[in-house]
Structure 1
Amino acid sequence: MSKSVDTDTVRKQPVDRYLKRQVLGEGTYGVVYKAIDTLTGQTVAIKKIRLGNQKEGLNFTALREIKLLKELKHPNIIELIDAFPDKGNLHLVFEYMQTDLEAVIRDRNIFLSPADIKSYMLMTLRGLAFCHKKWVLHRDMKPNNLLIGDKGQLKLADFGLARIFGSPDRRFTHQGSSDIDQLGKIFQALGTPRPSQWADMVYLPEYVEFQYVPAPPLRSLFPMASDDALDLLAKMFTYDPRARISIQQAMEHRYFSSAPPPTDPTKLRIPASKGDLLESKVSDLNQQESPTVLSPPGKLRRVMGPEAFDINRNQSIDDAEDY
């Protein structure tokens, strides 16, 4: 006797559960969409990454991001929900975040109080501390990689350049000419390091000597910062890693225990997300005209979770760490 099939259950299998809504942003490697998970009703963000053809090989940046995020489960680190290939692209499904710290900084309608800044600083350090606990270097810390949810929670994102550290023989890749430009900007802001400040710098691989620029007073860069904040920044900006404050010491610095206390994340003001006016609930989907199904058809390929993801039988995620 055959069993009847629940067509709604079939429709909401993982293979076709994500319905694309609108583009949130575009970058070098692909596009980020806002989407609806029809199985849970959850709003998600899907990063579609171009894998390239066989000659170009796989996108190891994406595979590395999957590998690392499997290990990094923390309230201040973005959650990877799912991953699947489709039509030459790799789709990474993340929890949806309302905005990022860059948008907060640039929004002229938002005044960041000392307590607000302290809250963002503390959440950032907590996420970084967990990364370091797991022997992971993020290597791409910047405001638009610090995402913020609708309840003010800040989370580290974009682990494409992250690496596992601790192996004495491992050499990290660099970004070419942009590294020199970044170093120039750092030295302009904090002064060029001298051997008296960092004796071992001349032994670094591919060491380049820069013209000496004296360090301006830190107060000139952060005129409104408190003395405690400047003291913490000075210790975090120390060039010599052996003399630099650790992440744990930074979180225990008196800056965080002095007045004012950090603002509760739920009370932080954040700008509106792109396309908020277009947000739809899953209950409304059946009333709309054929929303785009982002996932591949069930007959072609099943969706694989991050723990089982292997885009090529001859190339596993573990191999991505070497690239």
Structure 2
Amino acid sequence: MSEVDRLLTKKVADRYLKREVLGEGTYGVVYKAIDTKTGQMVAIKKIRLGKYKEGVNFTALREIKLLKELQDPNIIKLFDAFPHKENLHLVFEFMESDLEAVIRDRNIFLSPADIKTYIQMTLKGLAHCHKKWVLHRDMKPNNLLIGADGHLKLADFGLARIFGSPDRKFTHQGSSDMDQLGKIFAAFGTPKASQWPDLIHLPDYVEYQFVPAPPLHSLFKMASDDALDLLSKMFTYDPKARISAQQALEHRYFSSLPAPTKPALLPRPVRKGESKPSDYNPHDGPIVLSPPRKSRRVMVQREGLDGNTYQTAKVDDHANEATDGISGRSEIMPMSIDLSVFGSRPPPRPTLNSADRTHLKRKLDLEFLTS
């Protein structure tokens, strides 16, 4: 690097004032920072280059290339990328939370309208990726970031690939593949030839012990019929019969009531240093501390995308009861996924014989080493 390039790089690096660390992963550290030129809050992913041959991290380069192609309201924005002190810095728009934090926050109750909004925003981001022939390949709650305005955006495209090349070979993600398949088969049953005729022609096909699928309603007891119909179409094993992301967005689930919650009205986790607004209403009288029967969260009326107002439920941690704000009825509110359908024992797992397991392990190891 010439002296001119060094000065230019330093000038770019000095533009951003680093604050606290937001997270640390395999490839580097993510910082919260301020763009001193615009005053805008950003997130900077610092990727270590020293351990890579010739100073190149192909995962980071692939992410930069793909994000330049993917410009959509539901995909994270990449503002800048620059090298500095043997590190590569990627500058992203700042997102205050992610879907995993929302799911894990026990003080948050997600109404059917809230869930519909999160599914819709996720599918919009995926539909744009697929329109550009990009496979994300790492969809999980902590890669679905949420901004201060409530909008959800797909992030972390390090494992993403362009689909369509006839010579493209997709490698396995590792030993966790087997564990993931076990969980999928336990929830949706082992696929049969009648469901997926091309299954036996897959390059790494191994016959699994058959596990029957439990009724979808037993796993998602709170889901509506429209939601279950959409889920069944999205979970179809045969990719030729499976609904696409764009087709899913056109499903009647999104046009039926309740209307999706406006993103700005979605519940969000309380950030560090931010005080949680009190749920106490002086007209309700004093809060009884004994017996322990505290209210987890009181959701107020929300306005849907169609302009109508919908009333959500009050959740009680002790009795797990919901009060219908319209009719005043009380009913039991089970978890979204009822694991009791599997009984007291863990769900049955598909098994392989020793010969098949040894063959598959050697093949996975070989592909991993040559990828």
Confirm or deny a common fold (TM above 0.5).
yes
Partner of 1:259: 257
> Unaligned regions of 5+ residues in structure 1, if any?
1-9, 278-322
Does the 8 Å contact 1:98/1:272 carry over to 2? no
Stretch moving more, 175-184 or 124-133: 175-184
88 and 115 in structure 1: CA distance in 2 versus 1, 3 angstrom threshold: same
Matches within 5 A, 1:72-221: 72-221=70-219
Displacement of 1:14 in angstroms is 2.7
- Structure 1 counterpart of 2:224: 226
- Aligned 8 A contact 1:201 1:207 in 2: yes
SS in 2 for 1:199: coil
- Residues 35-74 of structure 1 correspond to what in structure 2 (within 5 A)? 35-53=33-51, 55=53, 58-74=56-72
Aligned match of 1:269:
267
Distance in structure 2 (CA, Å) of the matches to 1:35 and 1:232: 40
Identity %: 78
2:223 aligns to what SS in structure 1? coil
- Asked whether the equivalents of residues 13 and 39 of structure 1 are also in contact (C-alpha less than 8 Å), the reply is no
Alignment match, 2:23: 25
SS state at 1:53 partner: coil
Which residue matches 1:297? none
RMSD of Structure 2 on Structure 1 (CA): 1.8
Q: Which amino acid aligns with 1:120?
A: Y
Query: 1:4 maps to which residue?
Result: none
Deviations 1:205-226 (A, max 9, x none): 2222222111111112111000
Q: How far, CA to CA, are the matches of 2:138 and 2:209 in structure 1?
A: 26
How much does 1:27 deviate? 1.2
Contact 1:22 1:275 in 2 (8 A): no
* Unaligned residue ranges in structure 2 (runs of 5+): 1-7, 276-370
Give the distance between the partners of 2:158 and 2:273, measured in 1 at CA. Answer: 26
Letter in 2 for 1:116: D
- Structure 1 residues 149-174: Cα deviation after superposition (integer angstroms, max 9, x where no partner): 00100000011111111122211122
Residue identity matched to 1:39: K
Work out whether residues 146 and 153 of structure 2, in 8 Å CA contact, stay in contact via their aligned partners in 1: yes
Change (3 A) 1:274 1:69: farther
Whole-Å Cα distance in 1 between the matches of residues 225 and 271 of structure 2? 35
Q: Deviations over 1:284-321 (max 9, x none)?
A: xxxxxxxxxxxxxxxxxxxxxxxxxxxxxxxxxxxxxx
1:191 deviates by 0.9
Aligned-pair CA distance for 1:38: 0.5
1:261-306 alpha-carbon deviations (Å, 9 max, x no partner):
00000111111345669xxxxxxxxxxxxxxxxxxxxxxxxxxxxx
TM-score w.r.t. length of structure 2: 0.69
Return the offset for 1:56.
Answer: 7.5
With over 3 angstroms needed to count, the CA separation of the structure-2 counterparts of 1:171 and 1:224, relative to structure 1, is: same
C-alpha contact (below 8 Å) 1:99/1:272 kept by paired residues: no
Structure 2 contact 102–268 (Cα < 8 Å) conserved: yes
Question: Quick check: which has more Rg, 1 or 2?
Answer: 2
- What secondary structure does 2:198 align onto? helix
- Provide the rounded CA distance (Å) in 2 between the counterparts of 1:158 and 1:177: 21
Residue in structure 2 matched with residue 285 of structure 1 by the alignment:
none
Query: 1:219 and 1:58, CA in 2 relative to 1: closer, same or farther beyond 3 A?
Result: same
- Mean CA deviation greater in 183-192 or 146-155: 183-192
Q: One-letter code of the match for 1:251? A: L
**Once the 2 structures are TM-superposed, how far is the Cα of residue 16 of structure 1 from its aligned partner?**
1.2
Cα contact 1:84–1:90 (8 A) shared by 2: yes
Structure 1 position 175, deviation (Å): 1.2
Instruction: Say if 1:100 and 1:148, in contact at 8 Å, map to a contact too.
Output: yes
> How many residues are matched?
268
CA deviation vs aligned residue, 1:171-215 (integer Å, no higher than 9, x gap) = 112212111111111111111111111111111122222221111
Q: What is the one-letter code of the residue matched to 1:109?
A: N
**Quick one: distance in 1 between partners of 2:51 and 2:243?**
45
